[in-house]
Structure 1
Amino acid sequence: MADTKQTKSVGEHWVASELARRGWAPAFTRDGLARTDILAVHDSEERPMIEVQVKATVSTPVRASWPLGEKAQLPPASEREWFVLCVINPDVTVPVRGFVLPRAHVAAAAWIAHMSWLTDPDAPAGKRNAPVERSRVSATTFQAYEGRWDLLEETAYEAPVLLPTNYRDLAIEPRVGLPPNHPWKRGLPIW
C-alpha cells in the first residue's frame, strides 16, 4: 500500500469502526477541516462529542513512527480533541494497532522527542539541525496508549499522562521544554 491517500483512508475507516464498536456515532469531516478527521457523538445519556485526528503509517511494529509536525504540536482548542495513531502492518493478516491520545499529550511528545534529539549534548556538533516541524515520534513512545479507547469516556484534560517517565524530566529541562502555549506550561502533570 504505497499510496498515502489509501493509507489515510485505511486509518480513518478503521478508527471509525472502532469508535462505532464502542458506542460512538462517527462522521467523517470534509478534507480541509483543520485538526479533525472524525467527529463522533456517544450514544450515552450525556451524548458527549469528540474531535479525532487520525495519523496512519504502514510499518512493522518495530519501525513504526509518525511525522508530528507544527500542526500536531498546536495546543488543544477544546477538552475533546484526540489523536488516534494507527500502525498498519504491510502483512494484511496482522490487525491494525491504534494508540489513543489527547492532543496535548501528542503535542508534548512531538516537541520533547525532537528537542531532546536536537539538543542532545552527546551528538556531534553541527550534525543535527532539522527544525521541530520535522519531528517524528516512534510507537514505543506511545506504547502505554495502545488500545486505550476507554480514555475517550472522559475529557482529554482528565486523561492520565502515559508518556515515558523521562519525558517529564525532559519537559522541565531548559534545553527541551514544551511547545509554545502548551497547557502544561501552567502546571506540569505528574506521571
Structure 2
Amino acid sequence: MVGDTKQTKTIGEHLVASELARRGWAPALTRDGLERTDILAVHTGHTRRMVEIQVKSARSGRWDKANWPLGDKSQQPSAHEREYFVMVASPQDVSLRPRCFVLPRAHVAAAAWIAHMDWLTTEGIPAGKRNAPVSSSRVSLPVFAAYEDRWDLLHVDESECPVLLPAIYRDYAQSARVGLPPGHSWWSSLPEW
C-alpha cells in the first residue's frame, strides 16, 4: 500500500532527526529528490562535523522478521567519507519502540551484496529456484544487530569505522562465490572485523 510505505518512511526520518537532535546534531530533512540523502546534519560541537544520512525504514510484526530492501542505489560506492545509513525497524505494535542501526554506506553496500549473493548461490538449491537480481537484495535485522544505536559512528569517517557485520560476512567477501559489489572500497584492502 502506498500510504503505508510513505507513513513508514515518515516515521523513520522523523525518528532519526529527533535522535540526532538529542545527541547534539542539527538535522535538516532534505526535499524528495536529493538522491542518497534524507537528512543533512551538522554537529553543534566545536568541530561542526557534517554528515549525510539515508534512512531506510521497515515495519514488521516481529523484530526477527524486520528486513530492508537494499537495491542497486544502496550498493553504490560511497561518494565521500561521511555518508551513512540509519536502518529503522518500526514494529507494527505501537507499544514497542522502534530500533535504529547506524552504519557507514560502505558497510551497507557490502552487506546488501553479500546477503543476496550468498542467498543466490547457496549450494543445494534446485536450478531456477533462485534467480532474483542483486537489485532485489534484502538484509535482515540480525545482520545489522551490532550497529544498534551506534550513533557514535557518525563522528568517525567511513574508512576508520569498525566493521560490525557478522564475522562470516568477511569470509563471504573473500570468496569467489559471493565477493563484493563492483567498485567497492574494500576490494583494495579488506578491513579486519
Displacement of 1:82 in angstroms is 0.2
1:9-158 to 2 correspondence within 5 Å?
9-59=10-60, 60-158=62-160
TM, length-normalised to structure 1: 0.98
For 1:154 and 1:170, the matched residues in 2 are separated by: 25
Give CA deviations for 1:71-125 in whole Å, capped at 9, x if unaligned.
0000100100000000111111111100000000000000000001101122112
TM, length-normalised to structure 2: 0.97
Give CA deviations for 1:112-146 in whole Å, capped at 9, x if unaligned.
00001101122112211000000000000000001
For 1:8 and 1:44, the matched residues in 2 are separated by: 29
Give CA deviations for 1:24-80 in whole Å, capped at 9, x if unaligned.
000011101000000000011110000000000111201000000000000100100
Percent of matched pairs sharing the same residue: 64
Matched, 1:179 2:186: no
Displacement of 1:155 in angstroms is 1.2
Alignment length, in residue pairs?
191
SS at match of 1:3: helix
For 2:174 and 2:16, the matched residues in 1 are separated by: 34
Displacement of 1:156 in angstroms is 2.0
Q: Kindly provide the amino acid, as one letter, of the partner of residue 40 in structure 1.
A: A
Q: Kindly provide the amino acid, as one letter, of the partner of residue 39 in structure 1.
A: L
Instruction: Give unmatched runs, 5+ long, in structure 2.
Output: none
SS at match of 1:16: helix
For 2:151 and 2:187, the matched residues in 1 are separated by: 26
148-157 or 29-38: which moved more? 148-157
SS at match of 2:57: strand
For 2:158 and 2:15, the matched residues in 1 are separated by: 21
SS at match of 2:65: coil
SS at match of 1:98: strand
Q: CA RMSD in A?
A: 1.0
